[in-house]
Chains A and B, each alone.
Chain A
Amino acid sequence: MTIYQHITDLIGDTPLLHLDPAVHGLDGVDLYAKLESHNPFGSVKDRVAWAMLRDELETLRTQHRTLIEASSGNTAKALRILGAIHGLGLRAMTNRIKVGEVRDLLRLLGTDIVELPGLSECPDPTTPNDVYSAIDAAMAAEPGRFRHLSQYTSEKNIAAHHDGTGYEIHEDLTAAGIERIDYLFGGLGTTGSSRGAGSYLRKFHPDLRTVAVVSEREDFIPGIRSEREMWEVGLFRPDFYDEIVAIGSGTAIEATLELATGYGVLAGPTSGAAYAAARAVLARPGRTGAPAVGVIIVCDRLEPYLSYIEQRRPELFGRETGPRPPDSAEIAAAPSLNPAELADLVRTAHPVIVDTRGAMAYRVAHIPGALNIPDDRLTDLFTHGTPFSRDRPVVFTCPTGDISRQFAATARRTGHTAYSLDGGIAGWRAAGLELEREN
Chain B
Amino acid sequence: MTLRRPLRVDRSTPAVHADPPSLPARWDPLVESFLADRTAFDEVLHRFGTPANLLFPQVFAGNIGRLAAALDAARTGYRICYAHKVNRSRSLVRTAAAHGIGVDVASPGELDSALAAGFTPGRIEVTGPKGEAFLRVLVGSGVTVNVDNEWELQTLADLADPAHPVPVLLRISGFTGSQVSRFGIPAHRMEHAFALLAQHRDRLLFHGTAFHLDTGDSGERVRAADACFALLEQAYAAGLTPTVLNIGGGLRQVFTADGDRFDDYVHRLRASLIGEGAAMSWGNNTFGYHVEGGTLRGTPVFHKYSNTVPAAEMLTEFLRAPLERHGGRSIARVAEDNLLDIWLEPGKALADHAGITVARVEFTKESSDGSVLVHVDISRDAVTPADQEVMADPLLLPGDRKAPAGNPVGVFLAGRLCLERDLVTTHMVWLPWLPRPGDLIVFPNTAGYHMDLSAAAAAMHPPAAKVAVVRRDGRFLAVSDTDYRPSSPTTDSTSPEVS
Residue of B with least CB distance to A128:
B298
Residues A121 and B6 in contact in the complex (CB < 8 Å), given A128-B290, A360-B326: no
Q: Which of A160-168, A195-203, A237-245 contacts B (4 or more CB under 8 A)?
A: A237-245
CA A334 to CA B336, docked complex, whole Å: 22
- Asked whether A123 lies within 8 Å of B388 as measured between CB atoms, the reply is yes
CA A40 to CA B257, docked complex, whole Å: 46
CA A242 to CA B302, docked complex, whole Å: 31
Which of B10, B263, B296 touches A228 (beta carbons < 8 Å)? B263
- Asked whether A122 lies within 8 Å of B388 as measured between CB atoms, the reply is yes
Residues A437 and B236 in contact in the complex (CB < 8 Å), given A117-B220, A234-B295: yes
- Asked whether A358 lies within 8 Å of B288 as measured between CB atoms, the reply is no
Q: Which of B290-337 contact A (CB under 8 A)?
A: 290, 295-304, 306, 308-309, 326-329, 333-334, 336-337
- Asked whether B10 lies within 8 Å of A216 as measured between CB atoms, the reply is yes
Which of A120, A123, A244, A399 touches B6 (beta carbons < 8 Å)? A244
Q: Which of A52-60, A80-88, A170-178, A273-281 contacts B (4 or more CB under 8 A)?
A: A273-281
Q: Which of B144-152, B198-206, B209-217, B420-428 contacts A (4 or more CB under 8 A)?
A: B209-217
Residues A121 and B304 in contact in the complex (CB < 8 Å), given A248-B10, A361-B334, A426-B339: yes
CA A229 to CA B250, docked complex, whole Å: 22
Q: Please tell me if A96 contacts chain B, counting CB pairs below 8 Å.
A: yes
Q: Which of B64-118 contact A (CB under 8 A)?
A: none
- Asked whether B250 lies within 8 Å of A121 as measured between CB atoms, the reply is yes
CA A329 to CA B184, docked complex, whole Å: 50
Residues A130 and B298 in contact in the complex (CB < 8 Å), given A218-B309, A228-B306, A361-B334: yes
- Asked whether A124 lies within 8 Å of B308 as measured between CB atoms, the reply is no
Q: Give the interface size class of chain B.
A: 35 or more
Which of B1, B233, B299, B327 touches A374 (beta carbons < 8 Å)? B327
Q: Please tell me if A118 contacts chain B, counting CB pairs below 8 Å.
A: yes
* Most chain A Cβ neighbours within 10 Å, of B4, B9, B301, B333: B9
- Asked whether B385 lies within 8 Å of A122 as measured between CB atoms, the reply is yes
Q: Which of A253-309 contact B (CB under 8 A)?
A: 276-277, 280-281
In the complex, which residues of chain B have a beta carbon less than 8 angstroms from the beta carbon of A318?
none
CA A250 to CA B267, docked complex, whole Å: 26
- Asked whether A376 lies within 8 Å of B4 as measured between CB atoms, the reply is no
Q: Is the interface of B mostly helix, strand, loop or mixed?
A: loop
Q: Please tell me if A431 contacts chain B, counting CB pairs below 8 Å.
A: no
Residues A360 and B337 in contact in the complex (CB < 8 Å), given A121-B303, A122-B214: yes
CA A425 to CA B296, docked complex, whole Å: 58
- Asked whether A129 lies within 8 Å of B337 as measured between CB atoms, the reply is no
Q: Please tell me if B178 contacts chain A, counting CB pairs below 8 Å.
A: yes
In the complex, which residues of chain B have a beta carbon less than 8 angstroms from the beta carbon of A418?
none
* Most chain B Cβ neighbours within 10 Å, of A116, A132, A239, A358: A358
Q: Please tell me if B438 contacts chain A, counting CB pairs below 8 Å.
A: no
Q: Please tell me if B2 contacts chain A, counting CB pairs below 8 Å.
A: yes
Q: Please tell me if B498 contacts chain A, counting CB pairs below 8 Å.
A: no
23 A–B pairs (Cβ distance < 8 Å), ordered by A: A96-B217, A96-B219, A118-B219, A120-B179, A121-B214, A122-B386, A123-B301, A124-B301, A130-B299, A216-B10, A218-B308, A227-B6, A231-B266, A238-B4, A239-B2, A241-B4, A251-B9, A277-B9, A360-B334, A360-B338, A374-B327, A400-B336, A429-B339
Closest 9 CB pairs of A and B: A118-B217, A118-B215, A361-B337, A357-B337, A248-B10, A117-B179, A244-B6, A280-B9, A125-B288
Known pairs A234-B297, A243-B6, A244-B4. 13 more at Cβ < 8 A?
A: A117-B179, A118-B213, A120-B215, A123-B299, A128-B290, A217-B308, A238-B3, A250-B10, A358-B338, A360-B337, A374-B329, A376-B328, A429-B339
* A contacts, CB < 8 Å to B: 96, 98, 115-125, 128-130, 132-133, 214, 216-218, 227-228, 231-232, 234, 238-239, 241-248, 250-251, 276-277, 280-281, 357-361, 363-365, 374, 376-377, 399-400, 425-426, 429, 437
